[in-house]
Structure 1
Amino acid sequence: MALLGGLALSASLVTAPGAATAAPAGRAAPQAPPATYTNPVTAGTVDTLPDPTMVRAKDGAWYAYGTTNPIFSSKGETREHFLPILRSTDMVTWTYAGDVFAQEARPSWWRSNTRAWAPDIRYLDGRYYLTYSLSTSGIGLATSDSPTGPWTDRGQLVPPNSGCPSNAIDQALFTDSDGTHYLYWGSYDTICVSAMNATATALRGPVTQIARGRRAEGGFVVNRGGWYYLFYSDGGCCDGAFSGYTVKVGRSKSPRGPFLAPDGQDLMDLRSHAGIVAAANGNTFVGPGHNAITTDLAGQDWLVYHGIPSATPDFPPLNTVDGVKTLSQRPLLIDRLDWIGGWPVLRAGAGPSDTPQAAPVTTGVVQSGFETASLAGWRLRGGKGEKWSVTQVPDAGGVLTQTGSPTKGLPALLTSDTRVNGDSRVEADLRITGGGSAGAVGLVVSERGNDRVTAWLDRGRKALLVSVSDGKKSTETSAPLPAGFDYDDWHNVAVEVRGHILTAQVSEDRLGDPLGTVTATVPDAGVRGRVGVASLGTTVQADNLSAADLYVPVTERVDDPQLGPLLPAYSDDFDGTGRPEAGDPAWTWVRGAGAANAVKADGALTWPTQNAEIYTTNNTASVLTRPTPAGDYVVEAKLAFNGTRGNQQAGILLYENDDRWFKLAHSVLPLTGLANTVLHQTEFGKEAERPTTVPATAVFNGPMFGGPPAVTTWLRLAYHYDAVHNENEVRMATSTDGSSWTWGGVWTMPKRGDLKIGLVSMNASGALATFDYVHTYPLK
């Protein structure tokens, strides 16, 4: 398609994986991981999994959690599941694993009409923390020793009156490198953050506003390369095929902000923001959003999010605890998240996928979950007197356990028979089981004779330490770990070696919140040898050890739409004076009598806003129209707008009639939660019939939001006709200088009549729109 190009996938696939790990008792053995996947990955398992979050648990599987919804509606079930849970060994093939709360066992402190929304999952202090929102506002906490429960209700974490001016929902936890826990939350239209106590069970300290935007919500933070990235969604989440949900991002040097978009704009500015990570691209999904992030065994990041299938966007009416509702289907999608020039973007800017894609790497060249008693394929090296065996423990199943009498000063190693060669990611879950205040557990990254690279959790030094030895000399590089770091709890140590550069990180849950990071130089390019586990001066346990070919990063974005030469017959620079149609008869009016003060002067069309609109059944505003060219094209307008109060707007349209159109406008919209405060938004909407609702909605309207507007804003609508589906596809773009453009999402609708180029200045009187020009170009 012409509006969002495709991209050849660059993620590495493991072509020679080791043997799959055996399943714990009562679980089916995992199959060989698929080479490809197709969204939605939950197809055939559940109908929907809105607002998804995901974690790799200590049993080596991935678990996904979603908002309360009718997940088995297609199978005839008429009830909702409260925070459903899915399980997968490959992030692609999922099975239903239960619910966090049974309907008949909801916490007693919930209001009777509340529904549980937007879970967030973390692994902290040796247990799983699941925070969730209540539809009536407020945030709860449940904990468990297992990713599937049983869950212990910990009560209300954040009350409805939270100190944040927006709704107290859509929360996510984050742990900083100093061990401080933070909670992010907010919806409609402000996102806030507060520090938490040491056990992450209560807020502590001030509540700080960090982002504002129309319908901004779903904040999720990761720490990467010394930056804190705040992912969030704006636009409408849940309006079926009219859902304008879009994932955006800003970054900061502090978990409290300020967070800035790629153009340098503070996310607290009262304008819509650039930094688009994922937006609808005109394929079979709309409304991509409310994301989490997970990482596969090759080190590739994946965006975990929901999307709405445009062909079947809505459920039949459902009788919920909060009345009868028409809910949108929002199944689980995953796609490769690329980091290009320091900024994340989905599939290099190609957007959500709906065709086969290279699957996440979930099996390594070396891999073991140590589920069987046999240690065939592993060899003991180093110290004497140590014993290595497999022990069964709750949650994790089988784990590698080292006991005996560790030899002081000489590490004990258990390494793989299989050698790893080249750029690799090596990781394992590690913990110290011996008492005292000293000792270390290590991940052997490369061992070849006397050449050895090991990443240590060193309890005596209170540090993550990387040692590089060639048998003659050794070098050490370390980073301190937080004062409260508990070496007895499971921690994940992941090491990536690309060329001669090694990066090691330790975290509790692999969710972009490292507690320590070390970068070192290694003599050999890539990993050259065996991998394994080491202990020094104590006894240890290890699990989920893997070594996989390191992912190949994508470094260039897909191309933006390219424009051909100006089409003068479909353009106007508004030279001369008087009415626009007098100088150029291609212009015609819809209800033109109401726009008698729209005139040309000084090379521009000036048009005061009307107290009128074209919104569903209220069609009173004037629309200035002219024909569109044949084929695919781009309409561009330069607009100066001085709106100051809610609902004033002006912009361009591709207009079929009053009830079928695409519109891109500089809109002034009220900020929810703060009186007498407005947002300036680039609002991209469509209006058409919504036949999938019950009863069918004759006319419906949905917005998505693009980059920031300014006093003068350049607007573009790029049109493509999809002949295969007989569908109009329109993509928006905005600019504040006429040269650097923020390309946003795509709206579609079935093609019926012809579209016209349109201009509007409307919705609330008192502002002035000045159109410097309207230019039309062929789309290459």
Structure 2
Amino acid sequence: MPRRILAAALAVAAVAAGTTAAVAAPPLAVTTQNDISKPFADTYADPAIIQGRDGYWYAYATSDPLVANGPFGLMHMARTKDFGSWEYLGTVFSDATKPAWAAPGSFFWAPDIRYFGGRYVMYFTVTDTAANPGGDPAIGVATAPTPAGPWTATGGPVVTPKPDGNGGYFGTIDPAMLTAADGKRYLYYGGFYGGLWVTELTPDGLQAVGTPTQVAIGDRYEGSYAVYRDGWYYLTASSSNCCAGPTTGYSVFAGRSKSPRGPFLDADGASMNESRVGGTTVLTQNGNKWIGPGHHAFFTDAAGQDHILYHAIDRAKPWLTDPFGINRRPMLVDRLDWIDGWPRTRAGAGPSETPQPAPVTGSAAGITPADPASGLWNATRRPGDALGGPTAQIRGVAATRQSAPAGSVRVSADVRLGASFTTVLGYGAVVASIVGDKLVLVAGGRTTAVRLPAGFDRSRWNRLAVQVTGSTVTARISDAGLGDLYAEARLVVPKLKVKAAPVRWLGQAEVDNLTIRPVAEPVRRMVAVPQPGKLLAGDEFNGSGLGAGWSWLRPDAAATVANGKLSWPLQDTDLVGGGNNAGLLFHRTPAGDRWIAETKLHLDLGEGDIRNYQQAGMIVHRTDDDFARLGNVAIWRTRQTEYGRELVARPSDGATSYGGAAIGRSAPDLWMRLAFHRNAAGEHVYRAATSVGGKNWTWGAAWVLPAGETPRLGLYAHGDFTGADPAPVATFDYLRFYESK
């Protein structure tokens, strides 16, 4: 349950209709602590979220049991008002209402929730269809009058199974819908086997039309989610294995494009749809209790702050059932910051495990979102419907009875619009109007207008948000405020001043779920990352052999030192599972509890062909069944930088688990770092980074090894790969150890 803290208390004088004496006191601040699904479930995987017109936030999850030994649900529903107190609502489907075209033993995964056309629409994965059962996944869709159901599935898939040409089917999984500025609806879907795709949908969202476009290469991404922000479409998706128990390295990455069909490029200009696959880090594990964070959704709170909802695994409690059974993946939420145009979870800090400010709900300015007319002057209270409750009817001029805050402020509401409707902030400092087929924004003497799409239906409930953040003003009309849009108008007005004043409306509209809030202060800088200090030790490979401090495990005579480099032909061996026959070259590590190891690797893995699993890089090693390795690796047709972890997951028989996290982009010349420190429990934490060029570094996932003796650190070059003749050669320029600042 959340802790409630009194943030401030301001005296509010009684006000007459149409006047105001003071700004309303903000409500009590609320904190949450991950995992937020703990009050009602041990696992709540692949979460999706939407705010209903009743003010509740509804979260949905995949069909795993909620608790150990519990039944498999047919997808789950829960709701909250404050992200601390939750009410479990049951399953989306029953055996009687699930899609008739699904095979009897099919599972239902990865719900994506939307609202448009006057109804709630849910997309989901059906793992097996009745038409040709045997692993032919498809995308289903269901509709409901309320976010709690009842849900009615359509008579067939919205996206049908896609044969792979070899007697099987590609991964038609993990849907995510987006309404784009061109007025069209798009559905993103797909996974590691077959890649990510986008298809246009019919206006009602119930059927795919046209020719799909591939937007991300196979073997890297699944769990996509798309949003529009500041002129860009962002495609975000999860990478690596979602469900490897204590070695899960799932992470979230992003690319962006000016078109909803891509191409989606990362911050370095690399495409998510090429062999040396790109992706800018949005969320990855940081060395605390949470590993494998991913399969996410974005949402915006009443203060304009974005958040990321996702699942993760507690590394100390990774299983819901026996080891190698169902993974325990509870639901988490954290702040999402936009820094230099890219989404970053807590400014790059990653998953939180301590109390954090909850998403802001409710309203200032004396507004009760569930009954907005009670806080408005000259608005008529209407009974509304069973879902939304009372609404406010505005005809002519209406205003809040109390002042909205000065400065940065956000006004958001569900609206059904008449012929014209205008929102006025701060005695006319900002005026946002919907007139005819245009969204018009006026601020500081400047004006901009954006045309609404031809299919926009003003008689339906839509989400309107007007926000002032410093000198930037935006007005946006969308389906439900989930990164979708029909139109967005934006102005930058230097020295803009919005004074505390009632918010006024002119024209005709029915308003529900109205909130007025000070805008959350945006975070604009990334958190600090490890920086190398004084050189402590290492080897530049300048002699005719290895320098002092090296030692071998299973020596490889093919590894040679010459011309200032260590050259090591890849061994057709591996360390994963029972393949503990690869040579490893270790170097003595510095004393102390904090340092950085760095190497430069040249390994040409080509592009586009299958070379499983040629790789080389750095390794942290306790035993052959307890290690972490950072490598440049070929994974089917992709080239990736994988930071993998193996450990014994089932002590009773020594069975091992292996998983990995992706970090940065692969390249023939790649710089690598491992930053070491001991945490408060004495455990050994190693965070990885990579660089193409050796100057700009991408810091990524951290793995934690047990307390006790410090593991060995060194180099490896192997693969258990589809053979090459001659074997590729890994060339290391140096291994250095620095102080860590």
TM-score if structure 2 supplies the norm length?
A: 0.90
- Pick aligned residue for 2:256 from 244, 251, 258: 251
Distance 2:377 2:326 in 1: 56
> Within the alignment, does 1:70 sit opposite 2:65 as a pair?
yes
Once the two structures are superposed, the pairs formed by residues 40-55 of structure 1 within 5 Å of their partners are 40-55=35-50
Amino acid at match of 1:663: R
Distance 1:753 1:660, change over 3 A: farther
SS at match of 2:270: coil
> Within the alignment, does 1:708 sit opposite 2:665 as a pair?
yes
Amino acid at match of 1:362: T
Between the two proteins, the alignment pairs up a number of residues equal to: 700
Aligned to 1:436: none
Task: Point out the more displaced range, 515-524 or 596-605.
Answer: 515-524
For the 8 Å contact 2:63–2:109, the answer to whether it is kept is: yes
Aligned to 2:269: 264
1:628 deviates by 1.4
- Pick aligned residue for 1:733 from 684, 689, 695: 689
For the 8 Å contact 2:642–2:662, the answer to whether it is kept is: yes
Aligned to 2:462: 491
For the 8 Å contact 1:17–1:364, the answer to whether it is kept is: no
> Within the alignment, does 1:634 sit opposite 2:596 as a pair?
yes
Aligned to 2:635: 669
1:126 deviates by 0.9
Aligned to 1:755: 711
For the 8 Å contact 2:586–2:714, the answer to whether it is kept is: yes
Distance 1:102 1:679 in 2: 40
1:162 deviates by 7.2
Aligned to 2:22: none
Distance 1:499 1:166 in 2: 47
Once the two structures are superposed, the pairs formed by residues 290-369 of structure 1 within 5 Å of their partners are 290-317=295-322, 326-366=325-365, 368-369=367-368
Amino acid at match of 1:610: Q
Once the two structures are superposed, the pairs formed by residues 377-776 of structure 1 within 5 Å of their partners are 377-380=375-378, 388-402=380-394, 411-432=396-417, 439-446=419-426, 448=427, 451=428, 453-458=430-435, 461-466=436-441, 477-520=448-491, 525-536=497-508, 540-568=509-537, 571-577=538-544, 579-580=545-546, 584-592=547-555, 595-631=556-592, 632-644=594-606, 645-670=611-636, 678-691=637-650, 698-722=655-679, 724-763=680-719, 764=721, 766-776=727-737
Distance 2:11 2:440 in 1: 29
For the 8 Å contact 2:289–2:315, the answer to whether it is kept is: yes
Aligned to 1:24: none
SS at match of 1:565: strand
1:467 deviates by 5.4
SS at match of 1:482: coil
For the 8 Å contact 2:245–2:319, the answer to whether it is kept is: yes
Residue ranges of structure 2 left out of the alignment (5+ in a row): 1-5, 14-25, 129-136
Aligned to 1:169: 173
> Within the alignment, does 1:59 sit opposite 2:54 as a pair?
yes
CA displacement, residues 304-344 of structure 1 (integer Å, 9 cap, x when unaligned):
111111121101249xxxxxx71111111111111111111
For the 8 Å contact 2:174–2:223, the answer to whether it is kept is: yes
SS at match of 2:402: strand
Distance 1:15 1:642, change over 3 A: farther
Amino acid at match of 1:640: H
Residue ranges of structure 1 left out of the alignment (5+ in a row): 1-11, 20-30, 319-324, 381-386, 434-438, 671-677
SS at match of 1:348: helix
For the 8 Å contact 2:246–2:657, the answer to whether it is kept is: no
Aligned to 1:141: 141
Amino acid at match of 1:680: R
Task: Point out the more displaced range, 107-116 or 297-306.
Answer: 107-116
SS at match of 2:634: strand
For the 8 Å contact 1:465–1:518, the answer to whether it is kept is: yes
For the 8 Å contact 2:98–2:153, the answer to whether it is kept is: no
Amino acid at match of 1:740: N
- Pick aligned residue for 1:102 from 94, 113, 128: 94
Taking every aligned residue pair, what percent have the same amino acid on both sides?
A: 36
Distance 1:50 1:532, change over 3 A: farther
For the 8 Å contact 2:363–2:514, the answer to whether it is kept is: no
Task: Point out the more displaced range, 301-310 or 165-174.
Answer: 165-174
1:701 deviates by 1.4
1:738 deviates by 1.0
TM-score if structure 1 supplies the norm length?
A: 0.85
For the 8 Å contact 2:373–2:391, the answer to whether it is kept is: no
Task: Point out the more displaced range, 33-42 or 336-345.
Answer: 33-42
Distance 1:123 1:369, change over 3 A: farther
